[in-house]
Amino acid sequence: MMRTRPLKVALLGCGVVGSEVARIMTTHADDLAARIGAPVELAGVAVRRPDKVREGIPAELITTDATALVKRGDIDVVVEVIGGVEPARTLITTAFEHGASVVSANKALLAQDGTSLYASADRHGQDLYYEAAVAGAIPLIRPLRESLAGDKINRVMGIVNGTTNFILDRMDTNGAGYSEALDEATALGYAEADPTADVEGFDAAAKAAILAGIAFHTRVRLDDVYREGMTEVTAADFASAKRMGCTIKLLAICERSADGESVTARVHPAMIPLSHPLASVREAYNAVFVEAEAAGRLMFYGPGAGGSPTASAVLGDLVAVCRNKLNEATGPGESAYTQLPVSPMGDVVTRYHISLDVADKPGVLAQVATVFAEHGVSIDTVRQQGKDGEASLVVVTHRAPDAALSGTVEALRKLDTVRGVASIMRVEGE
């Protein structure tokens, strides 16, 4: 039997995502009520610019006082889509204190301070759901938190930023340079006017922190994630990748160590084999590859950003939280019982693709090979070509600790016969 008294929802933010949330709540009101077991009512919308026309939202619901809205006491669920750390953090904790559960899309806040938010939600008996914070419409957080709760996850690797994937895809398929591909992404609305958060990996790093924390039942903060952007990736790198049967993607990688005693989280460009499922992810799409002991290999794929896809994830969380409200229950909270340490990047075992500009004369390859051997790094393949006294030397290594590979590169730079290091890139996905 359906309850007639509606559950009241406060919306913080009414931009691209927030306006879609409001629209879907209105146009699909009957369906949402049937799925939840009670009507849902948009009770207030907090915005910064009250004079802006917002189609479909009654003017009397608009307010600039977000704090007063979440303090009302009759609000059941607060949907936060304003982003950033403050005032979002204060508004969310205030909502918990006044009896409201929270649905958020705020990856930056969750990556930086998720632990205190979980603690506040638990203290006040409220829910904190955030499916939309990672990979847009792709159902990912709930499968990790619930569907795979009985399994042991060893690795999560994925493309979690649509802007960077679009740029790298254009560089790969059209032969475009980085600047040209970025300009196209901006013109199509995939890249912001200031694309730094995307292309330098900050956005992906926040998502990696969230994924690692859930997957490994441990606390991983944004500062724990190694981050490397993709602005230095060149057409020459793609040419080298193609010769290896690879392409290049900006990857978020979270993995458990071989002994199971620590975890790592990192974001960086990497060459991956064309045979790997992530290699075929095109345009601005996202995909995440999960490796679990019992379930095996799983892949989640779909649009990772945009108003409608992100709103879909928000509404899914809203339905779940409202159902919990009706049943006077809460969903899963923070699971950090393992308390595993987060190892530095130097401990990560990986492969390298290193391109060197060298003198074209006898003995150079022997000198380079000696440096690799002295640092305990085994060489997989070497390719050398050159003329007129100059040459290029491309070395692909076997797996070794990242610190050993970094030390190798520094030693190579000191050789008289090495004119420069043209590019360095990790090789993943094997």
Length of the chain measured in residues: 430
* Distance of alpha carbon 339 from alpha carbon 216, whole angstroms: 9
**C-beta neighbour count of 55 within 10 angstroms:** 7
207 in active site: yes
The single residue of 8, 207, 249, 325 carrying the catalytic annotation is: 207
* Distance of alpha carbon 312 from alpha carbon 318, whole angstroms: 10
**C-beta neighbour count of 132 within 10 angstroms:** 29
Amino acid at 278: L
- Kind plus residue range of the DSSP H or E element containing 247: strand 246-256
321, HSE (Cβ side, Cα atoms, 13 Å):
30
Q: Report CA torsion sign: 55, 57, 58, 62.
A: negative
- Kind plus residue range of the DSSP H or E element containing 172: helix 162-173
* Distance of alpha carbon 358 from alpha carbon 420, whole angstroms: 7
* Distance of alpha carbon 327 from alpha carbon 335, whole angstroms: 22
Q: How far is CA 426 from the centre of its chain?
A: 19
Q: 199: which DSSP letter?
A: H
**Residue for token pair 């993709």:** 230
In what side-by-side order are the strands of the sheet with 40-46? Answer: 62-63, 40-46, 7-12, 77-80, 101-104, 128-129
> Looking at the annotation, which residues are catalytic?
207
